[in-house]
Amino acid sequence: MATFTHERTLAGKGVRLVAGVDEAGRGPLAGPVVAASVILPADCQYFLFQDSKKLTEKKREQLFATLTAMGIPIGVGVASPEEIDGINILQASLLAMKRAVLALPAMPDFLLVDGTFAVPLHVNQQTLVKGESKSASIAAASIVAKVTRDRIMLDYHASYPQFNFKKHKGYPTREHRELLVEFGPCAIHRRTFSGVRELLDR
């Protein structure tokens, strides 16, 4: 299926602003979850935008720059490790998505959302499982969310170099787990996550 079918179908029904929404960072043991919302214009080269997980870091950065240069509406939302621990990762992901939509310069008329859970906003929307491969707008949002989160983790690496966040970005790699055992959790680790909570108050 062409990855702009959903957007074109909605446009044919008179829906003007369609935003794709996705998040990055549900699985890591450290750092925030970051969401993005993107409104692609009808005349864009939508086929450029693919699931961020299938792209190299270099390609994601190039496409992020392309999206920024296009001057299109982009919104980003972040939920902190403290919020993740306070309300759980699913609710924090939905909160980040809500913030991303609200960060757009104009409220969209319709949301295409990756996954199975709707964004907690009174906006017409459709959830799409594996939406990054079905909607270019969601794919573009996945790229923005992933690049933004990676950059945040690079900044954290400067504060906590012992964890090598620049390499694994907080994901539960073998190296990260070993460093956690060696140094114990730092301020940005998710204290309710398995692999972290067991190491608290040792």
> Residue 166 belongs to a domain with what CATH number?
3.30.420.10
35-67: pLDDT as tens digits? 999 999 988 888 889 888 889 999 999 999 999
Structural domain for 129, as ranges: 5-199
How many C-beta neighbours within 10 Å does residue 28 have? 26
Which tokens is 52 given?
A: 């961020």
Cβ count near 199 (within 10 Å): 15
Low-confidence ranges of the chain (pLDDT < 50): none
What pLDDT is attached to residue 135?
96
Tokens of 13: 């029904």
pLDDT at 53: 86
pLDDT at residue 202 in the model: 58
For CA atoms 166, 169, 173, 176, the dihedral sign is positive
Question: What torsion do the CA atoms of 133, 136, 141, 142 make, to the nearest 10 degrees?
Answer: 20
Would you state the pLDDT for residue 190? 98
Residue 48 has a pLDDT of 87
How do strand 124-128 and strand 110-114 relate by DSSP bridges?
Answer: parallel
Structure tokens at 197: 């909570």
How many domains, the chain?
A: 1
Q: In this structure, are residues 21 and 143 in contact, taking their beta carbons and an 8 Å threshold?
A: no
**Which pLDDT score, from 0 to 100, does residue 51 have?**
83
Contacts 24+ apart (CB under 8 A), 4-8: 4/40, 4/46, 4/135, 4/136, 6/112, 6/126, 6/128, 6/134, 6/135, 6/137, 7/40, 7/42, 7/46, 7/112, 7/135, 7/136, 7/137, 8/42
- Quote the pLDDT of residue 52: 84
Pairing of strands 110-114, 18-24: parallel
**What does the block give as tokens for 155?**
């900044």
| Number of neighbouring beta carbons within 10 Å of residue 117 | 13
- Tell me the two tokens of residue 121: 């906003």
